[in-house]
Structure formats: structure tokens, C-alpha cells
Amino acid sequence: MKKRLEQRMYGLVPYNISPIQQGIQFGHAVVEYGLTQRQQDPTDTWLSPYNQWAHLDKTFIILNGGTTNNSPIYDKSGTLNKAKDELAQMGIQTATFYEPDLGDQLTAVVFLVDERVWDKENYSTYDFIKDEVSEMEYYETLFSEEHLQILEMRHFLSKYKLA
């Protein structure tokens, strides 16, 4: 039987709203994530990572996503908007929230991350001094065929601090 991986709901929010608003915007996006999950598979009652997270894990990690700008007048995306696009390119399922009271600006992007990304005690990083295998061999052994996606998400999250 395959081990159930613990999940955390990560999210990026703008730096320039109050901490309580950051939490509220994050919460709006989490609701959107759940609704999207149900629309994609209305028969899934337990097996999806979202449902397992919602029933068993329930941990939020809210990160400072920087700026938000999706105005068609300016050809400049905010760092939050760029992060959303980067996650999409990585193939990560996300949900977003655009706040009507802030000109429909992107105010939250959320996504699930399993323990192989954030639990570095049980899934340690490569130590080239101790290990006698190459870095890629080490990660292939540790994470099997998903090693590149896990390393990509570790790198992505390393760019952000808690909100």
C-alpha cells in the first residue's frame, strides 16, 4: 500500500494588504480550490489530495507574493501574477482569487504541496560530502520518477518568505 503523503496548502498574497486581509484573501482562494476540485470530479469523495488535506492535514502556509498588477493599460505583471504563471508552467494545480474591492486584482494564489517538498528531515537535501552518488542519483532514489518536479517546487518555494 502506498504511503499517504501529508499535504499543506501554500499560498501567495500581496505584500501591501494587512495581515488579516492576507488571511482572508488566502481563504477565498482555498474555497475556490475546493470548488474547482468538485467541478473537475464530482464523484471524488476521498481520494483527491485536496479532500485528504481538508479532512486530515488542514495546514495553511501563507507567503509574501510581492506585487499584483494585471491592468491591461500597463504591460507589467506583478510578481504575484508572474508566480501564478510559473506555477501553471510547472503543471501545478492552483486556485486564485481576484478581489472586486481592489479593482479585480489578483490577491491570492493557492496550491497543495506534499511533504516531500517541505519535510527536509525525512526527505533531506543532497549532501555531496557524505554521499557517494551524484546529486541526481540521490534525488532519483529518494523521490523516484517525480524527483524533478519536487526539486522544482523546492526551488520555487525557496524564493518566498512567510507573509
The predicted pLDDT at position 8 comes to: 98
C-beta separation of 139 from 39 below 8 A: no
Backbone angles phi, psi at 9, to 5 degrees: -90, 110
2 has a pLDDT exceeding 80:
no
Give 22-39 as a 3 state SS string.
HHHHHHHHHHHHHHHHHH
The domain locations on the chain are 7-115
Angle at CA 80, nearest 5°, toward 159 and 7? 65
Angle at CA 33, nearest 5°, toward 150 and 51? 75
Would you identify the CATH topology of the domain 7-115?
Bit1 (3.40.1490)
Average pLDDT over residues 92-114: 96
- Residues in Cβ contact with 85 at an 8 Å cutoff, skipping those fewer than 6 apart: 77
163 has a pLDDT exceeding 70:
yes
pLDDT tens for 111-140 read: 999 999 999 999 998 876 666 788 899 999
The predicted pLDDT at position 3 comes to: 82
The predicted pLDDT at position 48 comes to: 83
